[in-house]
Amino acid sequence: MKELVEVIAKALVDNPDAVVVNEICGEQSVIIELKVAPEDMGKVIGKQGRIARAIRTVVKAAAIKANKRVIVEII
Amino acid sequence: MRKWVEATGKTVENAIENGLKMLGVSKDKVEVEIIDKGSKGVFGLIGARPAKVKLIIKKDYEAIAKTFLRDVLDKMGLKCEIQIKDEDDILKINLVGPKMSVLIGHKGETLDALQYLLSLVINKDNEVNEFKKVLLDTQNYRKKREEALIKLANRLAYKVKRYNKSITLEPMNPYERRIIHSALQNHPDVITYSIGEEPFRRVVIDLKNKEA
């Protein structure tokens, strides 16, 4: 799940090296923290959070198989 | 950002040939811009100018799309074949494999999200005027959804006419709203329009002549 967020984020930003993804596992849910370079924030959030929403939708679909709730946070 | 060269030659063809040699690619991989057609001059002596062209290497959308999708699908644990064709300036991608329902999601929501991300990735660094459209599909979902929406549109149009009341549909994306609008475009009794703001914009089907 962590790698999925990483792959998508790296493809979107201008500084792929600055992308950092952390995974915090709970019992039923997983929190994924995505960090990017400050100038790339817009590239992963988008107008009205449209890109962020698309990332969450794709990750959610992947999580169905693992039977887990995944929360993607951009910090 | 894009790779390009300027080349000269006796004629435009010559110049293009020279440029292709410099880049080491075939002609279908570049865009040609003619800067100067050149001139033979009088008796090939006075005022002769060589032809000058600019060759810009085309972005390989198919390769970018394929790499991105392969990466994402791998990480999602989905094995499938990626079929890509470039048709009418739209990159049409079809995914073939088992468990594709996961990829479509509720009302195509996942498929749309992935398509949106993909369009961002392949249009990265592009100018506004060279935006490349992509259409992501699997198991003929787009076609089936289109048929379902056209059926729905016709059924609701009948209801509007029968009960003399307008009907507001659920929120849809622009692509789906367009299908509804065009399905009822030439309907004798109803008109359609949209209300609300994205992403909650909805189609309204209303009577054409309210008094009647």
Touching check for A57 and chain B: CB below 8 Å? yes
Predicted pLDDT of residue B1: 47
Spatial distance between the Cα atoms of B169 and B102, rounded to a whole number of angstroms: 26
Count of domains observed in chain A: 1
Reported as a single tens digit per residue, the pLDDT across B72-107 is 998 888 888 999 888 878 899 999 988 888 889 888
Judged by CB atoms closer than 8 Å, whether chains meet at B117 and A51 is answered as: yes
Spatial distance between the Cα atoms of B24 and B176, rounded to a whole number of angstroms: 44
Tell me the average pLDDT across B8-17.
86
Q: Where are the domains of chain B?
A: 4-57, 61-139, 144-207
Joined tokens for residue B141 = 């979902």
Whether B61-139 shares its CATH topology with B144-207 is answered: no
Of A12, A57, A65, the CB nearest to B110: A57
Residue B105 · residue A65 · CB < 8 Å: no
Tell me the average pLDDT across A66-73.
82
Residue B182 · residue B191 · CB < 8 Å: no
Spatial distance between the Cα atoms of B55 and B155, rounded to a whole number of angstroms: 54
- Given a cut of 50, whether residue A20 has pLDDT beyond it is yes
Of A1, A7, A57, the CB nearest to B72: A7
Question: Which residue out of B100, B117, B118 would a mutagenesis test of the A interface target, given it has the greatest number of A Cβ atoms within 10 Å?
Answer: B117
Of B75, B113, B124, the CB nearest to A54: B113
B191: pLDDT confidence band, cut at 50, 70 and 90? very high
Fold of B61-139: GMP Synthetase; Chain A, domain 3 (3.30.300)
Residues of chain B contacting residue A1, judged by C-beta atoms under 8 Å apart: 75
Residue B156 · residue B205 · CB < 8 Å: yes
Reported as a single tens digit per residue, the pLDDT across B157-171 is 999 999 999 999 999
The CATH number assigned to the domain holding A53 equals: 3.30.300.20
B211: pLDDT confidence band, cut at 50, 70 and 90? low
Give strand pairing partners of B91.
Answer: B86, B134
CATH ID of B4-57, from 2.30.30, 3.30.30, 2.40.128, 1.10.1660: 3.30.30
Interface ipTM: 0.92
Instruction: Give me the domain span that covers residue A7.
Output: 2-74
Task: Output the pTM of the full model.
Answer: 0.79
Residue B203 has phi, psi (to 5 degrees) of -90, 140
Tell me the average pLDDT across B140-167.
93
Residue B117 · residue A54 · CB < 8 Å: yes
In words, the CATH class of domain B144-207 is alpha beta
Report the side by side order of strands in the sheet with B202-207: B167-168, B202-207, B190-195
Task: Name the residue with higher pLDDT: B13 or B154.
Answer: B154
Residues of chain B contacting residue A50, judged by C-beta atoms under 8 Å apart: 116, 199
